[in-house]
Amino acid sequence: MAGNLINGYGTIIAMNKRLIVGNWKMNPITLDEAKKIANKIKRIAPTLSSVETVIAPPFPFIIPCGGRNKVKHFSLGAQSASIEIDRGPYTGEVSATMLGEVGVEYVIVGHSEQRKRGETDETVSKKVKAVLEAGLSPIVCVGEVVRDEAGDYLNVLKNQIKNSLANVEAKSAGSIVLAYEPVWAIGAAEPMKNDDIYESSLFVKKVFSDMFGPEAGVKVKVLYGGSVNYRNAGDIVRVGKVDGLLVGRESVNAPGFVELLKAVDDVK
C-alpha cells in the first residue's frame, strides 16, 4: 500500500507501519507512576521496526511524560481539545494550539466516553477542524452503540463519520486517523470478532473514500479499539487487517502494553 500519513509536525509515518495509540483516560493517579509508564514505553518504541507508538496521558502529565528529547517512533497525544483554536474566555478549556506548544502531535476526538457525556457529531466536527488548523492530527473515534442483525448500524456508522468530518477540507484528509471503536465491545470480555473488524474497517475506509476520494480512502489509517490487550492484539491486526489500535486499559499496564507493542511489531 503506497502513501504516508503526514501530521502537523511534518512527521511522516509510512503506510506499512501500524499506529498504536495508548489512551490513558484518567489514569494513573500520580505523576511518578505516569513517568514510569511513559519511560518504559519510550525505551521500547525505538526498537520497533513496524510500529509507531502514541501515548495520550491526562493533561497534567503530558509535559513530564514527553520529556525534553524526541524519541524515535514515539509521539505524544492528548485525549481531547477545545473547539476553540487559540485563546480566549473559555474557562476550563485547552486549545489544540496550546497542546502543540508542549509537543502533542495527535488529539483523540469524539471518543465514545465523551459522546456518552453529550458530545455530538457537530461538536466533534468543530474539534476536528480546530485540531487540523493547529497543525495536529486528529484521531477521530466512530462506532455503533449496538450491532443489529438487520444492518442498520451501518447507516448509523456512515452518518457518524460524515457528520464528524463535515468541516474537513479535502486537502486536510491526509492528516486524519480514524479509530473504529464499537461501543458494545468496549470493556467486554472479548473484542469484536476479527473477521467483523476487517469488514467494518473496510466500510469505514469506503465512507472516507466517498467523502475525500479513492486515494484518500486507501491512505487513511483505520485503528480498532475495544477490549484490546497483549494477548489478542497480534491477531486483531493480522486477521482484522487494521492499520493500528486504540488501546485503553492495557495502555497503563506498562508490561502488558510493551508486550502488545512487540506482538504487533511481529505481524508481517
What CATH code is carried by the domain that includes residue 232?
A: 3.20.20.70
Confidence band of 14 (pLDDT split at 50, 70, 90) = low
- 224 close to 264: Cβ distance less than 8 angstroms: no
| Full domain range(s) for residue 261 | 17-265
Average pLDDT, the chain: 93
In single-letter form, the type of residue at position 259 comes to E
| d(C-alpha 39, C-alpha 257), whole Å | 12
Is the residue at 6 inside a domain?
Answer: no
Is the residue at 2 inside a domain?
Answer: no
Is the residue at 5 inside a domain?
Answer: no
Position 219 pLDDT exceeds 50: yes
Segments of the chain assigned E as strands:
4-6, 12-14, 18-23, 51-56, 74-78, 104-109, 137-142, 177-180, 221-225, 244-247
Residue 6 pLDDT? 52
Is the residue at 93 inside a domain?
Answer: yes
What does each C-alpha distance from 4 to 11, 53, 120, 229, 266 come to in angstroms?
10, 16, 30, 27, 21
Residue 48 CA, distance from chain mean position: 19
Number of domains in the chain: 1
Residue 68 pLDDT? 87
| d(C-alpha 155, C-alpha 194), whole Å | 21
Position 187 pLDDT exceeds 90: no
Position 193 pLDDT exceeds 90: yes
Is the residue at 229 inside a domain?
Answer: yes
User: Mean pLDDT across the stretch 185-212?
Assistant: 93
Q: Which residues are catalytic?
A: 111, 181
User: Mean pLDDT across the stretch 33-54?
Assistant: 98
Position 189 pLDDT exceeds 90: no
